[in-house]
Amino acid sequence: MLGFGDTYSLMRHILPVMAIPKRARNPSLSPKTVVCVLFTALFGTVLPGLAEANLHRYILYVGTYSVRGSRGIYAYDFDGKTGVLSPLGLKAKSTNPSFVILSPDGRVLYAVTEVAEYKGQSSGAIQAYQVDAKTGDLKLMSEVASGGAGPCYLAFDKTKSFLLTANYGGGSVAVFPLRAGGKIGEASGFVQHHGSGLNPERQGKPHPHAIETTLDNQFAIAADLGLDQLLVYKFDSNNGRLSPSDPRFAKVHGGSGPRHFAFHPNRQFLYLVNEIDSSVSVFAYDPQGTLVEKQTITALPKGFTGQSDASDIEVDASGSYLYVSNRGADTITVFGIDPEGAMLTLIETVPSSGKTPRFTIDPSGRFMLVGNENSDNVVVFHIDRKSGRLTKISEIAHVISPIGFAFLEAR
């Protein structure tokens, strides 16, 4: 009877002369992966070491601001078992690629160019890069004007046929169709916001900071920092157009500065982080696109009295915990979510180990990666999925102005 080593050697010799099905010839499947699949099919078990060969490896793309020598989008090898990051270098030269997002198949990376002027227009830009999944290399394949100054956010609609952006400086939101190969088409939807908020220095005009479609793809919700509103649009997924819903918006308390939001997995509650006063507002959401505020709670450490601007917000996959970063206080706040999803309770606040943090959670949900913009470092925290608590495990310095993150499964 053949042992595992003999069988693996035999399979390696058989594989080149076999008629591999078309799907197996997909370049995304490595020879090692195909061997593992064939072995499992023939022998009913998984060859040790093969099934998890690439399961825990990712390429992490980091978008940056063009300061202190930063030149664009960088990549890092991320070990999903240990949480260790290893630099892979600069992958794309770009100006202020502060928000990055990968297509679901991992073949295209989209990035904003957060600038005030693009080719003589009062606009930023959106770029599409072809991804080499083995090396992480990026090749620019299309670029369009974003329709307004300072684009700062990107999201796909639920069909992955359209890309939505928020133009912070221009006070507008826009929708772009995705063409063959992931190239970006000209805008199919555009809305200019109007008005102002209570804070004359921060809210003298509209500043949309995020836009996402709802799970059913019937609506798009935009958080506008300048208006203290969550604006709700009907979204036509056939042509990518936006039209006002009824009611047109949900009001947030004055001077709060709505920034980013995240839905509970049950899709019945939305959690909004407010930048200016570093609070979190909980809204009940119904399928008709109506938002009703249920709770607002501070995300700042007890006794903190300095200036702080909240930034990112994420809900863990179980819907049990909510995480918020605070720039100025330089902390990550952890909240527990009640079983219904309607109420938050403070669990802990931990230092970000740097200055001006933003963060992301890795695909496994086991690690939080915190990019500290003004101290030029990325810190990795382990997430205790039973308690939601964070423990710092590693740090990589000399990551200049880390702002946006996107994970690509290694191949």
For residue 185, give the 3-state DSSP assignment.
coil
pLDDT in tens, 212-266: 999 999 999 999 999 999 999 999 999 999 999 999 999 999 999 999 999 999 9
Residues in the chain: 411
Q: Are 349 and 331 in contact (CB under 8 A)?
A: yes
pTM for this prediction: 0.87
Query: 4-14 and 31-43 are packed helices; what angle lies between their axes, rounded to 10 degrees?
Result: 120
SS3 340: coil
Within a 13 Å sphere around the CA of 42, how many CA atoms are in the beta-carbon half? 13
CA distance 153 to 93: 19
* Sign of the CA dihedral running 221, 98, 359, 171: negative
CA distances to 233, 276, 319 from 348, in Å = 35, 21, 17
The whole-number pLDDT of residue 54 equals 54
The closest alpha carbon to 274, from 309, 321, 301, 250, belongs to: 309
153: closest CA among 144, 165, 145?
165
User: Closest by alpha carbon to 110, among 82, 71, 146?
Assistant: 146
- How many angstroms separate the CA atoms of 178 and 189, rounded? 13
Per-residue confidence in pLDDT tens, the chain, 411 aa: 444 444 434 444 433 333 333 333 343 444 444 444 444 444 444 444 444 445 689 999 999 999 999 999 999 999 999 999 999 999 999 999 999 999 999 999 999 999 999 999 999 999 999 999 999 999 999 999 999 999 999 999 999 999 999 999 999 999 999 999 999 999 999 999 999 999 999 999 999 999 999 999 999 999 999 999 999 999 999 999 999 999 999 999 999 999 999 999 999 999 999 999 999 999 999 999 999 999 999 999 999 999 999 999 999 999 999 999 999 999 999 999 999 999 999 999 999 999 999 999 999 999 999 999 999 999 999 999 999 999 999 999 899 999 999 999 988
Task: Report the alpha-carbon distance of residue 397 to residue 76 in Å, rounded.
Answer: 12
The DSSP symbol for 148 reads: S
HSE at residue 290, side-chain half, CA atoms within 13 A, is 6
User: CA–CA separation, 273 vs 391, rounded Å?
Assistant: 23
Closest CA to 290 of 219, 211, 197: 219
The gap between the terminal CA atoms of the chain, to the nearest Å, is: 32
What's the pLDDT tens digit per position in 73-129?
999 999 999 999 999 999 999 999 999 999 999 999 999 999 999 999 999 999 999
